[in-house]
Structure 1
Amino acid sequence: MGFFSKILAVIDPETDQQKALKRAVELAQKTNASVTAFLTIYDFSYDMTTMLSVEERETMRQAVVDDRTDWVSALIEHQVDTDLVAVDIKVVWHNRPYESIVLEAIESQYDLIVKGTQDHDTLKSVIFTPTDWHLLRKAPTPVLLVKEHDWPQGGQIIGAVNVGTDDEAHAQLNDVVTETAQTMAELLKGTVNLVNAYPGTPVNIAIEIPEFDPKGYRDSVKAYHTESMQKHISRYDISMDQCHIREGLPEDAIPAVAKLIDAELVVIGTVGRVGISAALIGNTAEHVIDRLDCDVLALKPTGFESPIRP
Structure 2
Amino acid sequence: MKEYKKLLVVVDPTKDKQPALERAVALAEKNQASITVFLSIFDFSYEMTSILSAHEREAMRKGVIDQRVAWLGDLIAPFTRNGMEIQTQVVWHNRPFESIINHAIEGNFDLIVKGTHEHDKLKAVIFTPTDWHLMRKAPVPVLLVKEHDWPVGGRILCAVNVATEDPEHQALNGKVIEYAQSLAAQFDAKVHLVNGYPGTPVNLAIELPDFDAHSYNESIRMQHEQRVQYLASSYEIPIEACHVKEGLPEDVIPELAVELDAELVILGTVGRTGLSAALIGNTAEHVIDSLNCDLLAIKPDGYKSPLQEG
TM-score by length of 2: 0.96
For 1:33, the aligned partner's letter is A
Quote the offset at 1:280 in angstroms: 4.8
Q: How does 1:43-82 map to 2 (within 5 A)?
A: 43-78=43-78, 80-82=79-81
Contact 2:272 2:281 in 1 (8 A): no
For 2:40, the aligned partner's letter is T
The alignment partner of 2:295 has SS state of strand
**Which residue pairs with 1:224 in the alignment?**
223
Which stretch of the first structure deviates more once superposed, 166-175 or 273-282?
Answer: 273-282
Q: Cα gap change, 1:125/1:229 in structure 2, threshold over 3 Å: closer, same or farther?
A: same
Q: Cα gap change, 1:75/1:198 in structure 2, threshold over 3 Å: closer, same or farther?
A: same
Gaps of 5+ in 1: none
Q: How does 1:123-272 map to 2 (within 5 A)?
A: 123-272=122-271
Contact 2:205 2:213 in 1 (8 A): yes
Q: Count how many residue pairs are aligned between Structure 1 and Structure 2.
A: 309
Q: Distance in 2 between matches of 1:167 and 1:75?
A: 46
Q: Distance in 2 between matches of 1:280 and 1:213?
A: 33
Contact 1:154 1:189 in 2 (8 A): yes
For 1:217, the aligned partner's letter is Y
The alignment partner of 1:187 has SS state of helix
Q: Distance in 1 between matches of 2:134 and 2:278?
A: 12
Q: Distance in 2 between matches of 1:266 and 1:82?
A: 32
**Which residue pairs with 1:103 in the alignment?**
102
Deviations 1:269-308 (A, max 9, x none): 1111122333457322211111110010011111111112
Aligned identity (percent) is 57
Contact 2:125 2:290 in 1 (8 A): no
Q: Distance in 2 between matches of 1:224 and 1:38?
A: 45
**Which residue pairs with 1:17 in the alignment?**
17
The alignment partner of 1:308 has SS state of helix
Quote the offset at 1:54 in angstroms: 2.1
**Which residue pairs with 1:284 in the alignment?**
283
TM-score by length of 1: 0.96
Q: Distance in 1 between matches of 2:129 and 2:200?
A: 35
**Which residue pairs with 1:120 in the alignment?**
119
Deviations 1:68-108 (A, max 9, x none): 10010011114x25434111000000011111101101111
Contact 2:229 2:242 in 1 (8 A): no
Q: Distance in 1 between matches of 2:14 and 2:231?
A: 44
The alignment partner of 2:306 has SS state of coil
The alignment partner of 1:149 has SS state of coil
The alignment partner of 1:100 has SS state of helix
